[in-house]
Amino acid sequence: MQRTVIIWIVIIFVGVSAWSQEQWTPERIKNRILRQVGVETFVDTTRVHDPVIIKENDRYYIFATGWGVSIYSSDDMNRWRSEMPVFMEPPQWAFDTVPGYNGHTWAPDITYYNNQYILYYSISTFGKNRSAIGVATNVTLNPESKNYKWVDHGPIIISTPGKTNWNAIDPNFVLDDSGHPYLSFGSFWGGLVLVRLHDDGLSVEDDVDDYKIIATRQLRNNAVEAPFIFKKEGWYYLFASYDFCCRGAESTYKVVVGRSRDVDGEYIDADGKSMLDGGGTLVVQGNDKYAGVGHNAVATFEGVDYLLFHAYDMERKGASFLRILPITWADGWPKVAQDF
């Protein structure tokens, strides 16, 4: 009887593995992408993970985790249209660098710098720190422009199990007071990291031994990730996501923040606790409708600051949906509605 059970387990495992390999062939991925292009949704029905937002002319663009990096566009930040992804065929270096990567590309960041749009994106597999951050550029975000073309520049940071105690995913671009570019990143392992970039923003200036930890919880699992640094009124605010994403209705994700006068820290929360020691003032957490909420970005449009993030809807089988909330500031700290 025991042998029969084992045999059936093996058959099921092999069958599931074969189905998975067939399900996610490049051709099937392309067909799935093409079926989604042009689909319109509202902000609270747009399925996203790890969203960031930027505006070009009168149109807003969201970049998010997805096959080849998902893109959505909107005229009003309410109704969103699915666009073609950044990569229909992800760069070969990504497959070569991260075994198991299948084209599903995580946690992008988008910025306008040096007269071009720079996209940083994450190459990884779940629960491992054999990862890489890639970088691509474009002169416009308008897919109808004749000049629209993403140019990939390869990996900018690579993490390696046993060699680096950090994970090269979840990038975020920021400028210091002198206008010099930096990149923060990180997920679990040693915590959140900050590196100094070269002036072009396309390569790292720091030696790998000089990468600086800017937030860690000092816990065994060290559940901290997704840094986003936002400058306002002389302060740098480091937003981070604590606890666990990606568990549907069981997710415990939440967003916290600390601040510093300098881009490289030390970041301190409203109670005076350092984010190097697990500090972080709560910004937003789950409620009766949504379980975990997190992996946020912050942007300013027409003088209003916004927090955007994904939220796991308990009434929709724990699926993650886009939320965008206006930020108010009280005593130098960000506040958003908790009953969203």
Residues acting as catalytic residues: 50, 225
CB 168 within 8 A of CB 98: no
CB 108 within 8 A of CB 69: yes
Closest CA to 73 of 88, 56, 90, 89: 56
CB 287 within 8 A of CB 42: no
Q: Where does 92-197 show beta strands of DSSP type E?
A: 104-113, 116-123, 131-138, 151-159, 172-175, 181-185, 192-196
Give the β-pairing of 304-313 and 290-301.
antiparallel
Residue with the two structure tokens 């190459």: 123
Q: Residues with Cβ < 8 Å from 194, sequence gap 6 or more?
A: 182, 183, 184, 211, 212, 214, 263, 264, 265
Question: Count of residues for the chain?
Answer: 340
Closest CA to 310 of 299, 294, 298, 325: 294
- 231 HSE (CA, 13 A, CB side): 15
Residue with the two structure tokens 């666009």: 83
How far apart are alpha carbons 154 and 94 in whole angstroms? 8
